[in-house]
Amino acid sequence: MNPTPISQRHGRDPVIQHELLIEARDLCVSFDGRQILDHVALEIMRGEIVTLVGLNGSGKTTLVRALLGLLKPDRGTVRRTPGLRIGFSPQRVHRDAILPMTVQRFLTLATPTPRARLQALLDEVGAGRLIDSQIADLSGGEFHRVLLARAIVREPDLLVLDEPLAGVDVASQAELYRLIAHLRERYRCGVLLVSHDLYVVMAATDKVVCLNHHVCCTGHPRSVARDAQFIALFGPHVAETLAVYTHEHDHRHDMSGEPVPLAGSPLSTETARRSREGSVEDS
Amino acid sequence: MDDFIVRAMLGGIGVALLAGPLGCFLVWRRMAFFGAALSHSALLGVALGFVLGINLSLGILIFCLVVALLLILLERQRMLASDTLLAILAHGALALGIVSVALIEHLRIDLMGYLFGDVLAISREDLVLIYALVVATAIALKFTWLPLLSATVSEDIAAVEGVRITPVRLAFVLLIAAVIAVGMKVVGLLLIVSLLIVPAAAARRVSRTPEQMALVAMLIGVLSVVAGLLASLRWDLPSGPAVVIAAVLIFAAITAWPRRRSRAHYPHV
């Protein structure tokens, strides 16, 4: 049974459609008396890339697990739009050579899929030649691409990617972010990214949520970078670099490194960016 | 061939068919210790079956199912490393089993038969039990194979994709308990785990997908049973250990076979 392509379920116009995919309210989670999440709220719209940043141990993964329903919060609610399909790429998947598993078989664990379509998916994430490889033999970066392919096999409404850059070298990171932005447009899905790597993250992000057990601040990357709480948490140097970086990012680099304007995407226009800039909410 | 030999062959083959796919999951999920703890406690099931006045094989089966459920509950506590906890339970239960069997006055059993198997004593009822289980397992695996496999690779991804983890895990543990209970007749409670693990490990080298590995493990298991029983008849060896030795020899042969250097396996290199 093939799911209806997202493009037929929804209009093609703006990338961000005002359709709420998932909404968390007032989430509280504690382990052994330690408060991990403290009244956290988060919402993700279709077509929106939300990046969750925060230091190690700030509750990012716990929040993701609560959103995915893998963890029952002590308090608060997670509401999903009915029938929401989520594609999830976790931070770590234990790969063991005792389990023989080709990339093709791994992808069909999600849903039975013809090989031709799997090949197309793998080509899309830049892992086309890996279809017959054993997953235990893949490098960290290669496996992350395969995980990404697994996440999109079922044509998700929401992509949740926990630290998709782990084990990916710096040169490939920028490419991976372009890929995520591309997938967002291709599948018209919302994206929740988790990362502690601030620089590259911000480039393709619509909304940053800075987590330190509670939501410190949230908003467009450039305004978050100027936020007092954000600067206090990450230090002025990081914030400064970030502000400069996001400001300059009105182009991308093609394979040879030449800058290419980000035309065609409604997000890339300066007006769209300005319109969202002012909206930083401290809490 | 004599009747009892035919029954031994049929029973052993049935257990090998069960052990193939379930043993694969046992090694994939790194649950060998779990299997050992379960099988070592089976002797208590003998005592229980005797006290309740039911078929001893049935007593073992029921007991193993109950212990499996208890172990799952215990595993949720993270107080001890799991393998430590399982080793304590395994040996504690074995000691308790031997003592309780010795204490029950009218219970005269062949202890060696339970420890190392007594395949030549397989009865018609045992055969019925084994093949009923083969059918039940085939049906259960038909419905749980994909979710079980997916959860084995990543429980989180599987859960997000809609697999209900707890029922799947429960079904698997109950199947393992069942195969251990009936497999004891063939190789005994001390060796049953090897019948699960050795064919699966031997099959790994020659398989590229999980399904291939499960089928090859079944084949290797059947081969081991046939070869072990024939050797046991020919040279008057204890039958259970002979089956295990046959499996280990097959494992050693496959492992020692020189690896052909083929890039086809690693197209990205």
Residue by residue, pLDDT tens for chain B (269 residues) are 678 888 999 999 999 999 999 999 999 988 888 888 888 888 888 888 888 877 777 788 888 888 888 877 776 665 555 778 788 888 888 898 888 888 887 777 778 888 888 888 888 888 998 999 999 999 999 999 999 999 999 999 999 999 998 888 888 988 998 898 888 888 888 889 999 999 999 999 999 999 999 999 999 999 999 999 999 999 999 989 999 999 999 999 999 887 765 444 444 43
Confidence grade of residue A280 (pLDDT, cut at 50, 70, 90): very low
Instruction: Note whether residue B143 is domain-resident.
Output: yes
- C-alpha to C-alpha distance for B228 and B51, rounded to whole angstroms: 34
Would the pLDDT of A212 be above 80? yes
Kindly report the backbone phi and psi dihedral angles of residue A47, in degrees, each rounded to the nearest multiple of 5, phi listed first: 85, 0
Residue B269 belongs to some domain of the structure: no
> Which of A81-95, A259-273, B136-150, B233-247 is predicted with the least confidence, judged by mean pLDDT?
A259-273
Q: Inter-chain contact B267–A68, Cβ cutoff 8 Å?
A: no
Two tokens at B200?
């699966």
For range A169-186, the mean pLDDT: 80
Asked if A109 lies within 8 A of B150 by C-beta distance, the reply is: yes
Between helix B239-256 and helix B165-187 the angle, nearest 10°, is: 120
Instruction: Determine whether the interchain pair B156/A138 forms a contact, defined as Cβ–Cβ distance below 8 Å.
Output: no
Contacts of A100 in chain B (CB under 8 A): 204, 207-210, 212-213
* Angstrom distance (rounded) from CA B220 to CA B214: 10
Residue ranges making up the domain that contains A93: 6-278
Q: Which residues of A touch B149 (CB under 8 A)?
A: 109
- Residue A80, beta-bridge partner list: A22
Tokens standing for residue A67? 């959103």
Which residue type is seen at B246? A
**pLDDT on residue A170:** 67
CA B19 to chain A, closest CA, distance in angstroms equals: 16
Three-state SS at A46: coil
Please state, in angstroms and rounded to a whole number, the distance separating the CA atoms of residues A122 and A152: 10
Cβ partners under 8 Å of residue A254, min gap 6 = A260
Handedness of CA B168, B170, B174, B176 (dihedral sign): positive
Cβ neighbours of residue A112 closer than 8 Å, sequence gap 6 or more: none
Q: Do B210 and A90 touch (CB under 8 A)?
A: no
Q: Is residue A77 part of a domain?
A: yes
Chain B residues inside the 8 Å CB shell of A101: 153, 209-210
Chain A residue closest in CA terms to B164: A70
Q: Are A107 and A153 in contact (CB under 8 A)?
A: yes
Q: Which of A70, A101, A129 sits opposite B268 (nearest CB)?
A: A129
What's the CATH number where A47 sits? 3.40.50.300
B265 in a structural domain: no
- pLDDT at A47 > cutoff 70: yes
Q: How many domains does chain B have?
A: 1
Contact residues, chain B, for A98 at CB < 8 Å: 27-28, 201, 204
Mean pLDDT of chain A: 77
Residue A1 maps to a domain: no
Residue A206 lies in a domain: yes
Query: Looking at the domain assignment, is residue B210 inside a domain?
Result: no
Angle at the Cα of B51 from the Cα atoms of B50 and B55, rounded to 5 degrees? 35
Are the beta carbons of A88 and B156 separated by less than 8 Å?
Answer: yes
State how far residue A47 is from chain B, nearest Cα, in angstroms: 20
Count of domains for chain A: 1
Q: pLDDT above 90 covers what percent of chain A?
A: 23
d(CA A242, CA A9): 37
- Helix-, strand-, coil-residue percentages of chain A, each rounded to 5: 40, 25, 35
Q: What percent of chain A has pLDDT over 70?
A: 72
What CATH number corresponds to the domain at position B79? 1.10.3470.10
Which chain A residues have a beta carbon less than 8 Å from that of B212? 100
Residues 6+ apart with CB under 8 A from B123: B7
Helices marked H in A128-235: 140-153, 170-187, 198-203, 221-225, 228-234
Structural domain of residue B135, as residue ranges?
3-190
Q: What is the mean pLDDT of residues A6-24?
A: 61
Determine contact, residues A77/A52, Cβ cutoff 8 Å.
Answer: no
CA distances from B170 to A71, A169, B69 (A): 19, 41, 8
CA dihedral (B104, B106, B110, B115) in degrees, to 10, reads -20
Q: For chain A, which residues lie within 8 Å of any Cβ of chain B, measuring from their own Cβ?
A: 65, 68-70, 86-90, 93-94, 96, 98-102, 105-106, 109-111, 129-130, 132-134, 137-138, 142, 150, 154, 160
Q: Flag if A133 and B266 touch (Cβ within 8 Å).
A: yes
Secondary structure of residue A51 in the 3-state scheme: strand
Q: Is residue B181 part of a domain?
A: yes
Rounded-to-integer distance, Cα A279 and Cα B134, Å: 63
Rounded to an integer, what distance in angstroms lies between the CA atom of residue B131 and that of residue B133? 5
Q: Which amino acid is located at A274 in the chain?
A: R
First to last CA, chain B: 54
Residue A196 lies in a domain: yes
Q: Is residue B106 part of a domain?
A: yes
Q: Please, what is the end-to-end C-alpha distance for chain A in angstroms? A: 45
Instruction: Among A247-251, A257-261, B2-6, B258-262, name the one with the lowest average pLDDT.
Output: A247-251
Phi, psi of A258 (to 5 degrees): -70, 140
Closest Cα in chain A to B151: A109
Contacts of B154 (CB under 8 A, 6+ apart): A90, A93, A94
> Residue A185 corresponds to which tokens in the numbers above?
């447009």
What is this structure's pTM? 0.81
d(CA B25, CA B217): 11
Look at residue A172 and tell me if it is in a domain: yes
Number of alpha carbons in the 13 Å side-chain half-sphere of residue A186: 14
State the sign of the Cα–Cα–Cα–Cα dihedral A168, A176, A2, B159: positive
Q: Mutate which of B153, B198, B255 to test chain A, going by most A C-beta atoms within 10 A?
A: B153
CB A17 within 8 A of CB A10: yes
The answer to whether residue B267 is domain-embedded is no
Question: Do B265 and A134 count as a contact with CB atoms less than 8 A apart?
Answer: yes
Burial label for B193, CB within 10 Å (0-12, 13-18, 19+), is buried
Nearest to B159 among A70, A106, A111 (CB): A70
CA distances from B81 to A93, A94, B88, B91, B177 (A): 21, 18, 11, 16, 22
Question: Rounded mean pLDDT of A188-213?
Answer: 79
In whole angstroms, give the CA distance from residue B48 to residue B72.
Answer: 21
Are A100 and B212 within 8 A, CB to CB?
yes
Q: Do B157 and A100 touch (CB under 8 A)?
A: no
To the nearest 10°, the Cα dihedral for A179, A185, A187, A189? 100
Query: Chain A residues with CB inside 8 Å of B156's CB?
Result: 65, 68, 70, 88, 90
**Residue B92: φ, ψ to 5°:** -60, -45
> Is pLDDT of A105 > 70?
yes
Q: Are A61 and A54 in contact, with CB atoms under 8 Å apart?
A: no
